[in-house]
Amino acid sequence: MPDTSGMEVEDRTVPAGPPVPVRIYRPAQAQGAVVWLHGGAGVFGDLDTEHGQAVRIAGGSGAVVISVGYRLAPEHPSPAASDDAYAVLTWAFDNAAELGFDPGRIAVGGHSAGAGLATGVALRARDEQGPPIRFQLLNQPMLDDRQQTWSQLAFTDTPWMTRDKLAAAWRHCLGSAPATPYTAPARADDLSGLPAAYIATAEFDPLRDEAIEYALRLLRAGVPVELHQWAGTFHGSQALPAEVSQLQIAELGAALRRALAE
């Protein structure tokens, strides 16, 4: 497990309906913060499984990381997870002074399904004139329930994540609810006015092309985007002790540090 010396780690509960558990990581002299949403296809994962990644993001960025234990499908289908994420964003912004960061330097981010949730939160904050998000940190985001991109159609037997697994995840996450831009952000018609974004994709990932296409649409809408396609990697491969995996994690932290320092 990564070293947490030099940062405070605290479990809290955000008052919402229902309350949302969060784990807060405070590096010394932090300025900004990121509301961080774990991966797990929307059906598994929690504050403990995300602990290692959250520590690395906090250490690499120097930002306060607010890791969110949002509700999971199929027990809690859409929009439960999205509502939890947005509630934490609002709470974090309103309590920035107590939490130890500048409310003008708040980001949203996540991995896989969590990155999709973060993308939807940014859309919702824009539409509802919510907290002013500075940046989106999106690692291999899950964005499109329609699954019609080339990578979705081609990658049926790739490591860790396949088209069929994602189809099952979308069924669980959506339940009987229709997909909306807040739950499947690729469906959003207007991407103007959104925060700048860093988007990372993996070469052998069914989610690859929808993330690249979303990045291009953001650029066409006038949103600054940094896009990194990691050659030779697959969905979630940053969890392995490979050199490229360490580079992936380091760049997430560095991108967030740059964005919140400006």
DSSP secondary structure, 161-190, as one string: --HHHHHHHHHHHHTTSPP-TTTSGGG-S-
- For residue 44, the Cα-to-chain-centroid distance in whole angstroms is 15
- Structure tokens given for 13: 């509960």
**Is 196 in a helix, a strand, or coil?**
strand
Contact 136, 223 (CB under 8 A): no
Catalytic residue numbers read: 112, 205, 235
Question: 193: alpha, beta or left, given left = phi > 0 and alpha = psi -120 to 50?
Answer: left
Contact 35, 66 (CB under 8 A): yes
Residue 2 amino acid letter: P
Sequence-separated (6 or more) residues with CB below 8 Å from residue 247 = none
3-state SS track over 49-104: CCHHHHHHHHHHHCCEEEEECCCCCCCCCCCHHHHHHHHHHHHHHHCHHHHCCCCC
